[in-house]
Amino acid sequence: MLKNERFQIILDLLADKGTVTVKDIMNSLNVSDMTVRRDLTELDNLGKLKRIHGGAQSISLYKSEELSHVEKKEIHMEEKEEAAKYAAQFIHSNDTIFLGPGTTIELLATYIENPDLRIVTNSLPVFNIFQNKDETYEIYLIGGGYRRRTGAFIGNIANDALKKFKIGKTFISVNGINNESIMTANIDEGLTQKIVLDNSQEKYIVMDHHKFNKEDFYEFYSLQNITGVITDSKISKELEKKYNEYTIVYSYGKSSKN
């Protein structure tokens, strides 16, 4: 196996697990301990991962800079498309739904075709998507302080307005989930999403599988209080089993929710 092929497999393992041991990599690649350690050192020097005792950890756990809205649109698009398309099946005519900020939720908005929906959002890009649809919806755009990086309105004004809404189904995306902890990069954005989740009957996270076993700056909710996580078909059986202990994991390609 070529070195670049080994590198890609190691990085894929980290994308799924967050942290891997030398033994895990040896078993996956069928190579020696010395080869694995040499590969990890080189990847660490390239800034692709963080070497730790006995293995490696995803570099995303150490990055303090949140990706921009444009950058997020360019990564894991196939997986985001699957998760968004599947999440649209959970929405029915006459539902009252909240759609949060994020590129995956924006994709979800493009797949929604149900008539007679009441839609609440604090995302300007999501609002603009519905403005350009032919269907007539009852739409509420929540105002507040504008966060350009995600296109979201947040802060006290947004929070005070959202406290008065009772939502049937909420769909949000997040920066990471690690065990029961749900995390995002911005405190104000996390507080706004917490308010909406608390006021919702059904609470769904829509995200690509790469965000499992990932951490970010601010923990704002417990996975045990979430109705379900809707994700793509590439989630491993190991990850699916782990997170089914906290909530229901819905992965694309399996039977849809009725």
C-alpha torsion angle, residues 158, 86, 230, 184 (rounded to 10) = -40
Residue 256: inside a domain: no
Do residues 9 and 117 share a domain? no
Give dist(CA 100, CA 192) in Å, integer. Answer: 9
Helix pair 77-88, 103-111: axis angle to 10 deg: 50
Tally of domains in the chain? 2
Give the residue numbers spanning the domain of 220: 69-251
Q: State if pTM tops 0.85.
A: no
Of the residues 61, 80, 95, the one at which a domain ends: 61
- Tell me: the pLDDT tens digits for 108-147? 999 999 989 999 999 999 999 998 887 779 999 999 999 9
Burial group, residue 208, by CB count within 10 angstroms (0-12, 13-18, 19+): buried
Residue 258: inside a domain: no
Three-state DSSP at 242 gives: helix
Q: What is the domain-level CATH number for residue 36? A: 1.10.10.10
Structure confidence at residue 67 (pLDDT): 60
For the chain, the straight-line distance linking the first and the last C-alpha, in angstroms and rounded, comes to 45
- SS3 of 2-49: the string is CHHHHHHHHHHHHHHHCEEEHHHHHHHHCCCHHHHHHHHHHHHHCCCE
In this prediction, residues 13-27 reach a mean pLDDT of 85
Do residues 123 and 148 share a domain? yes
Structure confidence at residue 115 (pLDDT): 87
In percent, how much of the chain has pLDDT > 90? 68
Residue 9: inside a domain: yes
- Cross-sheet strand order for the sheet of 49-52: 19-21, 55-58, 49-52
**Whether the predicted pLDDT of 253 surpasses 90:** no
Give dist(CA 54, CA 22) in Å, integer. Answer: 6
Do residues 230 and 165 share a domain? yes
Residue 118: inside a domain: yes
Residue 24: inside a domain: yes
**Whether the predicted pLDDT of 240 surpasses 50:** yes
In percent, how much of the chain has pLDDT > 70? 93
